[in-house]
Structure 1
Amino acid sequence: GRSVRVRAFNRRGWDAVAWNCRGCSGEPNRLVRFYHSGSSDDLLAVATHVAGITGHPLLLVGFSLGGNMTLKLMGELGEGAPPWLTGGVAVSVPCDLRASGEVMAQAANRIYMQRFLGDLREKIRTKQARFPGPLLDDTGYEELRSFRDFDNRYTAPLHGFRDAEDYWARCSSRFFHDRIRRPALLLNSEDDPFLAPECFPREVAAHHPWFHLEVTVHGGHVGFVGGGLEPGEYYSERRAIEFARDFCTDPIA
């Protein structure tokens, strides 16, 4: 979990800050908007605040949805990235939201999809109690079968996108990789059940001086068990630490 990742950095003398997306900290979000895979504005606000307090360079580390945010933000900043941003590591990232959504909608992933939609319904109901209105109405929610359904009904209208397709096109980090101008590592596994072939940007990585892609045979989705530098650590933490050592000094992760 998150505490394991934080401790992995702490043991090597790094300070680490773990942040929560909107509505995921146990406290209700005060705005009607949620978090989503493209919420790089929130990530930038938190990172800028931390860098300002500490005065140290900063390495961003994101997993799954957070990894998509990380790579998207780095691409958005591009040549204008602030001096405190020294690099980023992203693990198990659905960098093509449309393609991954189609994979998740397949019968083999039905049990995962049901779990995700169930969790999201609880968030919708919590938000609806605070902000009554048609945008958050969950009538007929049980008819939703996929992320496309959910994003068309909730994510897009709540966050200013035309529809799910518009959201995916504007928020998939795949379309920002070529603009990254700080060292970035993407670690994805071939046996990740949530990722489509489009989530392995080999061609970009082959010709990009800043963007590095590592593909493992095993690891699933954020499940790189074993291979760590210490007992109980994951391979993903090991690679994040090694990458950080290569590109950062006196960092805060």
Structure 2
Amino acid sequence: MSTIYSGLLRKVEHLEQTRIRLTLPDTDFLDLDWSYSKNPSKKLVIVIHGLEGSSKRAYIKGSAKALSESGFNVCAINLRGCSGTMNNLYRSYHSGATEDLQSVIAYVLQLDQYTSIFLHGFSLGGNLLLKYLGEERVLPNEIKGAVAISVPCQLADSLDQLLQFKNFLYARRFKGNLVEKLKLKKQSFPDLISDLDIDLVKTLKDFDDIYTSRAHGFKDAMDYYSQCSSLQFLNAIKIPTLLINAKNDSFLGEDCYPIAIAKHHKNLFLELPQYGGHVGFYGPDNFTYTERRTLEFLSNIA
């Protein structure tokens, strides 16, 4: 119920978002929606939505509102093809496309306005930021901390859960949205995708076998899950990072709860609340548990 309420019924009002289009190195683009603190701020939170989400989802707007009202500026990324305008290239976004996050961070740094930058991701976006933090790169000194919510740290394990009957409605909704986008891709790239390919997409794994893997250089869906799961990158995280995965999240299997890793990790702080579903956390006055914890965690670092 909490997952459904957050996804379909929750409303967040009185948040102003200003859109800026960022051109990427490969000529594609990302639409970034900015929310600003009432007073000038040198603190910025970059927020990343989940699968088939956008900056307009309640969980993004709720976080942006809470953060901007507390002295942070917010840059909410719309991943490729998720802003309401189809992206230019055949490729799109996926759980491990950290090059796009890298481009946003590079853009923010060249603005030369922020001394403290934080990363905040939900579901797929959480996996993306955890992978980014654990990859072999030197992080900019300005990146101080991160919060990831409802993260499928082991993608194949999460897929197994989504393919179970308990998640039938969610899986059908995700697949339907993705197939509609694939039909639009076919109009622009008829040589790369056929009607037969689209007809073969019966499950989310089929979509990743037929489109995600081919469009982004992976052998197949399982290769994509293997290379892009953030679980294998967690040990290398070097900045304070909060990970909140609810115990009753029906999208996450046992491997998505990195209890053993967090136990001996000086930078990874794992919280496992009993309830919250998948990005379905709630709280009084439309201020959710994870919004409160995010604000507390980042404020202590800032």
Report Cα offsets for 1:3-29 as digits up to 9, x if no partner: 221110111111111110001111221
| Correspondence for 1:129 | 187
Give me the identity figure in percent: 41
How far the C-alpha of 1:141 sits from its partner, in A, is 3.3
Match of 2:151 among 93, 112, 115: 93
Match of 2:120 among 54, 57, 61: 61
2:265 matches 1:208: yes
Report the 3-state secondary structure (helix = DSSP H, G, I; strand = E; otherwise coil) of the residue aligned with 2:118. Answer: strand
2:121 matches 1:70: no
Report the 3-state secondary structure (helix = DSSP H, G, I; strand = E; otherwise coil) of the residue aligned with 1:213. Answer: strand
How far the C-alpha of 1:156 sits from its partner, in A, is 0.5
2:252 matches 1:232: no
Match of 2:297 among 232, 243, 251: 243
Report Cα offsets for 1:215-243 as digits up to 9, x if no partner: 0100001011116xxx2111111111111
CA distance in 2, matches of 1:142, 1:166: 22
Give the TM-score of the pair, scaled to structure 1: 0.92
2:227 matches 1:158: no
CA distance in 1, matches of 2:202, 2:234: 30
**In the alignment, is the contact (CA less than 8 A) between 1:56 and 1:84 conserved in 2?**
yes
CA distance in 2, matches of 1:236, 1:24: 23
**Higher-RCO chain (CA-CA 8 Å, sequence separation at least 6):** 1
Report the 3-state secondary structure (helix = DSSP H, G, I; strand = E; otherwise coil) of the residue aligned with 1:62. Answer: strand
More helix by share: 1
**In the alignment, is the contact (CA less than 8 A) between 1:124 and 1:138 conserved in 2?**
no
**In the alignment, is the contact (CA less than 8 A) between 1:62 and 1:70 conserved in 2?**
yes
- 1:199 counterpart letter in structure 2: C
- Structure 2: gaps of 5 or more residues: 1-57
CA distance in 2, matches of 1:237, 1:40: 24
**In the alignment, is the contact (CA less than 8 A) between 2:81 and 2:87 conserved in 1?**
yes
2:275 matches 1:221: no
How far the C-alpha of 1:40 sits from its partner, in A, is 1.1
Report Cα offsets for 1:106-126 as digits up to 9, x if no partner: 112111111111000111111
- Structure 1: gaps of 5 or more residues: 249-253
Give the TM-score of the pair, scaled to structure 2: 0.78
How far the C-alpha of 1:196 sits from its partner, in A, is 0.6
Report the more deviating stretch, 187-196 or 147-156: 147-156
Report the 3-state secondary structure (helix = DSSP H, G, I; strand = E; otherwise coil) of the residue aligned with 1:86. Answer: strand
Alpha-carbon RMSD: 1.4
How far the C-alpha of 1:51 sits from its partner, in A, is 2.8
**In the alignment, is the contact (CA less than 8 A) between 2:150 and 2:244 conserved in 1?**
yes
- 1:119 counterpart letter in structure 2: N
| Correspondence for 2:49 | none
CA distance in 2, matches of 1:173, 1:145: 26
2:234 matches 1:195: no
| Correspondence for 2:98 | 40
How far the C-alpha of 1:66 sits from its partner, in A, is 0.4
Match of 1:17 among 59, 75, 82: 75
**In the alignment, is the contact (CA less than 8 A) between 1:90 and 1:186 conserved in 2?**
yes
> Which runs of structure 2 are paired with 1:167-182 in the superposition (5 Å)?
167-182=224-239
CA distance in 2, matches of 1:246, 1:45: 27
Report Cα offsets for 1:76-131 as digits up to 9, x if no partner: 156x2110111110000111000010111111211111111100011111122122
More strand by share: 2
**In the alignment, is the contact (CA less than 8 A) between 1:72 and 1:173 conserved in 2?**
yes
